Amino acid sequence: MSLVSLSSQTPLLDAIQEPSDLRGLSDTDLLGLAGELRSETIDVVSQTGGHLGSSLGVIELTVAIHAVFDTPRDKLIWDVGHQCYPHKLLTGRREAMRTLRKKGGASGFTRRAESAHDPFGAAHSSTSISAGLGFAVARDLGADIGDVICVIGDGALSAGMAFEAINNAGALGRRIFVILNDNAMSISPPTGALSTHLDRLAAPVRAGSGDAAPAGVTSLFEQMGFAYHGPVDGHDLTGLLDTLRHLRQTADGPVLLHAITRKGAGYVHAERAADKLHGVSPFDVATGTQAKARAVGPSFTKVFATALVAEAEQDPRIVAITAAMAGGTGIDIFARSFPDRTFDVGIAEQHAVTFAAGLAAGGLRPFCAIYSTFLQRAYDQIVHDVALQGLPVRFAIDRAGLVGADGPTHAGSFDIGYLANLPGFTVMAASDEAELVHMVATAAAHDAGPIAFRYPRGEGSGIDMPVRGTVLPIGRGRVIETGSTVALLSFGTRLGQCLAARQALEAQGISVTVADARFAKPLDKALIEDLVSRHKLLVTLEEGATGGFGALVLHHLAARGMLDGRCGLRTMTLPDSFISHASPDEMYAAARLNAEHIERLVLGALAHSRRRHALPLPYDGTNGTVNGSRTIAAE
Ligand SMILES: Cc1ncc(C[n+]2csc(CCOP(=O)(O)OP(=O)(O)O)c2C)c(N)n1
Ligand SMILES: CC(=O)[C@@H](O)[C@H](O)COP(=O)(O)O
Ligand SMILES: [Mg+2]
């Protein structure tokens, strides 16, 4: 049943500059406003792309919260933040939303720097209750803060840190509102016993038989010190207004309101879609058909998944783990072939890694497929449970490097540094989709210890693909093109940019070697020493922050006493800043990691070495980016 007829007329929304404008409206007008807000959300995302289903599911919640509470003095914190589009439309950013996720435009998540109505930034899930409790305690210790409202989804609630926060909040007893937006969806259907528990609580509302948990079913939240209210219909705006007004009047401690919603609510194409149109590219509103990005080659994700299936067909010890990202990581492809060897642990990366460690200790060959950025959440598990015990967990690290519209919260910038400094780890980066196939085979065969291979979001270059992966010699890189003056040593897919830069430099009479390092650990020391001894300049490149591959190369050369100036050395990395969202190309341009930047750096370094005297480097030691600013905009 559609909750709204899509109309382009939005007279009520037109009058809303700030949430305070809502508070003068009648409940009837608020109903009309919700309808207009839903239409506007659909229209905006049909133009820009982004996260649609989640935003549609919280239209009524958004209107009710801003109508009842005194935002921004009352702090409204959205968990994940991918559902914040209606919130942004009501908080002075309606125009900015037309530039959603574009270079210089509105972020697709909440951001403190963007608005006082975004008291806490998000994008990684399950942080809202911890942050909200911080605001609540700051208030109780004298800060000028009103109420605190955390909106968290059923998926985000499956992460351990959400329960760490509930555990603490329930004991502290501070007044805080947690609104559980329960649409029985994560990106895909949720997994886990918590989901079963929530379904039991929600059953009456979902069955349309009333606003109360079934007799005898008490929520675990009550057991943990929260006043549990619900389940209530999260699309019944009038009911929500009454409930929130009542709770605001009466709450004297932590409150959890269990709101039952539908992801994609009010847009038939979203409601019908298996994923409820969680993440979409621009689409036709009438048909729901999305624009298809032109792809030259297969996606790295699909190449990974297909290669893993091929390996698993030969080896029953191979199992796959995802943390609620089966579609994004391609593990859903693996699951179709091996449902009993596939484990979706929910949004629980810490558990995923240590679970994989247990699987490895039990003699299996676990592939833990987690985006680089989300793997950050499990660092101690990687160190303490995997590396320290030398357990052969395989890490398939997707979304390595800059990812584009999701921006800095999703950039895979740090895994090279945070893995290659761990004893016993093997760290690889695929320079293209064929290399990725070989790296899956190499990881499958590697029982000597933990091994990771990284690859970017998006499609490959469409090169010829091997039928099967071959196991690579550990710690060995490969020379692609031979030259004599400059050596470009690339770790990852900047290799393509190196080859383009080589062409430009060769046209200027500069002879360039291009090599693919393949491994950041163990380093190919023989290759590095040979490149340094035979060239005037060695440049390392990586789609990672400083302190990664290039640093390890310099460490090695220092240890070998080869920093004697006979060969100039430069490292090209991501800048020491977070790069705002834009397209991947625009972000790599801001990072100065494209072919033109390689060419410019080489010419500058050669000129510098010709002058043979120290000049102040035109940068802070990175590849030309201005340092000092924490976040830089894509050019
Ligand atoms: C730590 C972390 N892991 C994974 C993700 C990817 N992710 C984004 S939204 C989402 C599902 C969230 O489900 P829920 O909280 O129920 O929100 P809904 O999409 O249903 O509105 C996931 C897994 C993330 N943002 N953060
Ligand atoms: C909100 C969130 O964290 C995910 O939806 C993420 O945006 C998915 O990223 P990809 O689109 O790269 O799979
Ligand atoms: Mg959900």
C-alpha–C-alpha distance, residues 101 and 634, integer Å = 12
C-alpha–C-alpha distance, residues 439 and 454, integer Å = 9
Q: Which CATH number fits the domain that encloses residue 374?
A: 3.40.50.970
pLDDT of residue 612: 63
* The last residue of a domain, from among 223, 254, 270: 270
CB 188 near ligand 1, within 6 Å: no
CB 399 near ligand 2, within 6 Å: yes
Residue of 157, 66, 162 whose CA lies nearest to 115: 66
Q: Which CATH number fits the domain that encloses residue 609?
A: 3.40.50.920
Taking a C-beta distance cutoff of 8 angstroms, is the pair 501, 489 a contact? no
* Cis status, amide bond into 522, omega within 30 of 0: yes
Task: Tell me: do 101 and 245 sit in the same domain.
Answer: yes
Flag whether 269 is marked binding. no
Task: Tell me: do 264 and 324 sit in the same domain.
Answer: no
432 HSE (CA, 13 A, CB side): 16
252: Cα separation from own chain's centroid: 36
Q: What is the DSSP string of 14-74?
A: HT-SSGGGGGGS-HHHHHHHHHHHHHHHHHHHHHH-B--HHHHHTHHHHHHHHHHS-TTTS
pLDDT of residue 218: 86
- Distance from the CA of 157 to the center of ligand 2, in angstroms? 17
pLDDT of residue 610: 77
Task: Tell me: do 26 and 135 sit in the same domain.
Answer: yes
Q: Is residue 462 part of a domain?
A: no
The residue type at 529: E
* The last residue of a domain, from among 454, 489, 518: 454
Instruction: Tell me phi and psi for residue 588, to 5 degrees.
Output: -70, -25
Residue indicated by tokens 């690290």: 397
Give the residue whose CA is nearest to atom 22 of ligand 1: 187
pLDDT of residue 620: 47
Instruction: Identify any residues that bridge with 149 across adjacent strands, giving them in sequence order.
Output: 76, 177
Task: Tell me: do 510 and 561 sit in the same domain.
Answer: yes
- Distance from the CA of 601 to the center of ligand 2, in angstroms? 33
Flag whether 227 is marked binding. no
Q: Provide the token pair at 157.
A: 């609630």
Q: What is the DSSP string of 397-439?
A: E-S-B--STTGGGT-B-SHHHHHHTSTT-EEEE-SSHHHHHHH
Among 410, 457, 459, which residue has the most ligand 2 atoms within 8 Å of its CB, making it the best to mutate?
A: 410
Give the residue whose CA is nearest to atom 3 of ligand 2: 123
- Distance from the CA of 600 to the center of ligand 2, in angstroms? 34
Q: What angle do CA 366, 310, 459 make, to 5 degrees?
A: 90
| Residue ranges making up the domain that contains 132 | 3-270
Task: Tell me: do 501 and 384 sit in the same domain.
Answer: no
Residue indicated by tokens 């005898």: 216
Task: Tell me: do 372 and 439 sit in the same domain.
Answer: yes
CB 324 near ligand 1, within 6 Å: yes
Task: Tell me: do 431 and 497 sit in the same domain.
Answer: no
- Distance from the CA of 267 to the center of ligand 2, in angstroms? 21
Among 406, 409, 455, 581, which residue has the most ligand 2 atoms within 8 Å of its CB, making it the best to mutate?
A: 406
What's the ipTM? 0.99
Question: Could you give the dihedral angle defined by the CA atoms of residues 455, 460, 464 and 465, in that order, rounded to the nearest 10 degrees?
Answer: 40
Helices (H), 513-613: 525-534, 549-559, 584-590, 595-611
Give the residue whose CA is nearest to atom 23 of ligand 1: 324
Flag whether 267 is marked binding. yes
Q: Provide the token pair at 1.
A: 């049943």
Task: Tell me: do 436 and 546 sit in the same domain.
Answer: no
Task: Tell me: do 308 and 391 sit in the same domain.
Answer: yes
* The last residue of a domain, from among 421, 438, 454: 454
Give the residue whose CA is nearest to atom 6 of ligand 2: 406
Q: Provide the token pair at 71.
A: 């935002």
Among 61, 77, 107, 125, which residue has the most ligand 1 atoms within 8 Å of its CB, making it the best to mutate?
A: 125
CB 51 near ligand 1, within 6 Å: no
Polymer length in residues for the chain: 635
* Residue ranges in the chain modelled with pLDDT below 50: 1-4, 614-615, 617-621, 625-627
Q: Is residue 626 part of a domain?
A: no
CB 153 near ligand 2, within 6 Å: no
Flag whether 547 is marked binding. no
* Cis status, amide bond into 72, omega within 30 of 0: yes
Helix axes 525-534, 549-559, angle to 10 degrees: 70
Residues serving a catalytic function are 263, 349, 377
pLDDT of residue 629: 62
pTM, rounded to two decimals: 0.95
- Distance from the CA of 86 to the center of ligand 1, in angstroms? 17
SS3 369: strand
The residue type at 623: N
Beta strands in 173-282 (DSSP E): 176-182, 227-233, 254-260
Q: Is residue 295 part of a domain?
A: no
Instruction: Identify any residues that bridge with 397 across adjacent strands, giving them in sequence order.
Output: 454
Q: Which residues contact 251 (CB under 8 A, 6 or more apart)?
A: 175, 177, 227
Q: How far is CA 246 from CA 44, 239, 241, 251, 257, in A?
A: 34, 11, 8, 8, 12
pLDDT of residue 623: 61
What DSSP state is assigned to residue 77? E
Among 83, 181, 186, 199, which residue has the most ligand 1 atoms within 8 Å of its CB, making it the best to mutate?
A: 186
Flag whether 155 is marked binding. yes
CB 54 near ligand 1, within 6 Å: yes
Flag whether 123 is marked binding. yes
Q: Is residue 289 part of a domain?
A: no
pLDDT of residue 279: 97
pLDDT of residue 464: 95
CB 79 near ligand 2, within 6 Å: no
Instruction: Tell me phi and psi for residue 557, to 5 degrees.
Output: -65, -35
Task: Give the burial class of 292: count Cβ atoms within 10 A of its Cβ; 0-12 exposed, 13-18 middle, 19 or more buried.
Answer: exposed
C-alpha–C-alpha distance, residues 452 and 391, integer Å = 12
Q: Provide the token pair at 7.
A: 């109309």
- Distance from the CA of 281 to the center of ligand 3, in angstroms? 20
C-alpha–C-alpha distance, residues 295 and 506, integer Å = 30
Taking a C-beta distance cutoff of 8 angstroms, is the pair 174, 129 a contact? no
Q: Is residue 120 part of a domain?
A: yes
CB 80 near ligand 2, within 6 Å: yes
Task: Tell me: do 400 and 318 sit in the same domain.
Answer: yes
Q: Is residue 280 part of a domain?
A: no
- Distance from the CA of 288 to the center of ligand 3, in angstroms? 21
Task: Tell me: do 442 and 517 sit in the same domain.
Answer: no
Flag whether 349 is marked binding. yes
Q: Identify the nearest ligand to the CA of 124 by its number.
A: 1
Counted domains in the chain? 3
Taking a C-beta distance cutoff of 8 angstroms, is the pair 45, 269 a contact? no
Q: Is residue 277 part of a domain?
A: no
pLDDT of residue 183: 98
Task: Give the burial class of 68: count Cβ atoms within 10 A of its Cβ; 0-12 exposed, 13-18 middle, 19 or more buried.
Answer: buried
Q: Is residue 619 part of a domain?
A: no
Task: Tell me: do 66 and 117 sit in the same domain.
Answer: yes
